[in-house]
Amino acid sequence: MRICLMGFGAVGQGVAKVVSQKKDYLLKNYGMDLKIVAVTDSSGAAISQEGLDPELLLKVKLESGKVSDYPEMGVKAIDGLDVLDKVEYDCLVEVTPTNIEHGEPAKSLTIKAIKNKKDVVTSNKGHLALFFSELMDLSQENGVEFKFEASVGGAMPILNFAQETLPGNEIKSILGILNGTTNFILSRMTAEGSSYEHTLQESQQLGIAETDPTQDVEGIDAACKTVILANAILGIDCTLKDVQVTGISRITSEAIDLAKKDGYLIKLMAEVSPDSLNVSPRLVREDSPYAVDGTLNMATLKTDLADDVTVVGKGAGSIETASAILSDLVNIWKSKKI
Ligand code: HSE
């Protein structure tokens, strides 16, 4: 399977590491020869029809910061859309930074790949939160797979879990923690009394915060994920503007201490139901399934047959997100045997 990897930040580099680490495993277990034939970042691209060396890509990126410095196969200042014309590939792996104003460049890259009958896997939330139904309709019209497990909750299994493990159940609502950065900040403030500003800086250093961290702390990232779950799991046709959002930037250490004294924690909760699309800080009991710490995400799915089902997992991080991307790639491979 030949992939074009668009974006080489924390998630893109995680994908390169996972491709390198799992190459033999994938070949042995699925007969899947996973090759990266192009990678882009803001400097340009590296392109090779025979496949790029993931370890060399990582080394070049670490040393110069530019994939376009890849020996012999680097191309300076080339646009991602043009890269898609320069190489033969089976699947676009789109991991550029989320944009919630216009969803670009993810939207145009995705549309181009789908129209060219290529499958698409993404961790991006912007274009999904703004244009979910248009993009799904387009992928169905073109008979290609469009998968986005990594866009919600990093390594926490939720989309494929709901669709493939709980078929036959009606999922009535979802309540959960869908942002790792804010959960990390709130957990640190609760456990150690660390300041909001200090902990936010720490989460940026860990590479879990968005390029623009206000998207995390103001609840916008969780709202994008709310839209994705609403559309993909509950079949609610909605976009970002339909979600009521309150972030955590006004949560004080005093409020956290007060809650703690009564056995409660403050968490940024996302509610997805036909009656409510809402992201806001809420009090949860210390002994409830919502009391997960650090970068963990969780979600309780209310179903008609299985009752409540709760999933938990690392909601952010380079390798964790790459794990969800790999699961989509393997599922596409198994369904198509490209
Ligand atoms: N910034 C996001 C988070 C990354 O903190 O959850 C994963 O979507």
Averaged pLDDT for residues 146-174: 96
Residue 212, pLDDT > 90, answer: no
DSSP string, 2-24: EEEEE--SHHHHHHHHHHHHHHH
Q: Which residues line ligand 1 (CB under 6 A)?
A: 154, 179-181, 208-210, 216, 221, 315-316
Average pLDDT, the chain: 96
Task: Name the 3-class secondary structure at 218.
Answer: coil
**CA–CA separation, 205 vs 177, rounded Å?**
21
In this predicted model, what pLDDT tens digit does every residue of 294-311 receive, in sequence order? Answer: 999 999 999 999 999 999
pLDDT of 265 reads: 98
Q: SS3 letters for 33-62? A: CCEEEEEEECCEEEECCCCCCHHHHHHHHH
Q: Is 225 a catalytic residue?
A: yes
Give tens-digit pLDDT for 174-206. Answer: 999 999 999 999 999 999 888 888 888 888 888
Q: Which helix (H) or strand (E) holds 197?
A: helix 196-205
Confidence of residue 338 (pLDDT cuts 50, 70, 90): low
For residue 257, the tally of other CB atoms under 10 A from its CB is 12
Q: What is the mean pLDDT of residues 52-64?
A: 98
Question: How many Å lie between the centroid of ligand 1 and the Cα of residue 216?
Answer: 7
Q: Which domains does the chain have, with CATH numbers?
A: 2-155+318-336 (3.40.50.720), 163-314 (3.30.360.10)
Distance 118 CA to ligand 1 centre (A): 27
Per cent of the chain over pLDDT 90 is: 91
181 CA closest ligand 1 atom index: 5
Orientation of helix 10-30 relative to helix 318-336, angle to 10°: 40
**Low-confidence winner among 33-42, 92-101, 184-193, 286-295 (lowest mean pLDDT):** 184-193
**Is 153:228 a contact under the CB 8 Å cutoff?**
no
Active-site annotation holder among 35, 225, 267, 314: 225
Q: Kindly tell me if the per-residue pLDDT of 337 is higher than 80.
A: no
Q: Could you tell me which residues are beta bridge partners of residue 293?
A: none
pLDDT at 197: 85
Q: How far is the CA of 116 from the centre of ligand 1 (A)?
A: 30
pLDDT, tens digit (0-9, with 9 covering 90-100), for 39-50? 999 999 999 999
Side-chain-side CA neighbours of residue 213 (13 Å): 20
